[in-house]
Amino acid sequence: MKIVMISDIHGNFDALNALSESYDELWVLGDLVNYGPQPGEVVDFVRQRATVAVRGNHDQCIGFGDDPRCSARFREMAETTRRFSSDQLSFEQKAYLTSLPLQITVSRAQTRFFLCHATPSDPLYEYRAADSSAWVDDCQQLPAEVIVVGHTHIPFVRSFNGQVLVNPGSIGQPKTGNPDACYAVWEDGRLSLRTYRYPIDETVAKIRTMPIAANVQEDLIRVLENGGLPPV
């Protein structure tokens, strides 16, 4: 069995649609919306194709009106695009976001997987570095061999105590210092991190047509082009 794991699409349908990897199942680790210009297209794609999906803090924001608790440099971008995303999505699309579970445990080929957006102890909001010792205590409480998370937009694979922790990184807004979309593949018991290029110029052109402030447009574009934080 081949499973493609993706996270943090953030309304970037060009990046999502350019994913050419074949798969038996598609798993989505949350944050379908906000920041990007096509949240509706992303939600519909995930609804139609994902076998498993969990809710991220930005999905929570649109679905329930909660604060996504973004870092200071992203706060204006998040608030501005929250209004845009909310206007773009239909009632049914928003209902789909609210229906997504905060966490889920599934078994495939004698392997148990635990999925959430952020961390097992705080599925929506906690930003935790890959090398944090807190992962060990958090994960050992779980009835799973593989723990899959997103939220930080930074891919990694880490092993401890017979468990494997994987973050596929971000499809729509990577923070690796490189604009290439990031994802992970689990195939026949092997995990790998992968990247691919997408037509970022098309996404940039769409951001420039969004009815939002010009400075927010430029910040969003810089994030995509730099693969990281916008300049201060």
Type of residue numbered 119: T
Type of residue numbered 83: R
Question: Around Cβ 196, how many Cβ atoms within 10 Å?
Answer: 14
Q: What is the pLDDT along the chain (232 residues), one digit of tens a residue?
A: 999 999 999 999 999 999 999 999 999 999 999 999 999 999 999 999 999 999 999 999 999 999 999 988 899 999 999 999 999 999 999 999 999 999 999 999 999 999 999 999 999 999 999 999 999 999 999 999 999 999 999 999 999 999 999 999 999 999 999 999 999 999 999 999 999 999 999 999 999 999 999 999 999 999 999 998 877 6
User: What is the pairing mode between strands 181-187 and 25-28?
Assistant: unpaired
**Separation of alpha carbons 94 and 83, rounded Å:** 13
- 165, β-bridge pairs: 147, 158
Closest CA to 94 of 69, 58, 68: 58
- pTM score: 0.96
Give the burial string for 61-77 (b: 16+ CB within 10 Å, else e): bbbeeeebebeeebeeb
Give pLDDT, residue 232.
Answer: 67
The CATH homologous superfamily for domain 2-226 is Metallo-dependent phosphatases (3.60.21.10)
CA 61: distance to chain centroid?
Answer: 14
**Dihedral (C-alpha) 218, 19, 94, 47: value to the nearest 10 degrees?**
170
Give every strand in the sheet of 163-167, ordered side by side. 103-108, 111-116, 146-148, 163-167, 156-160
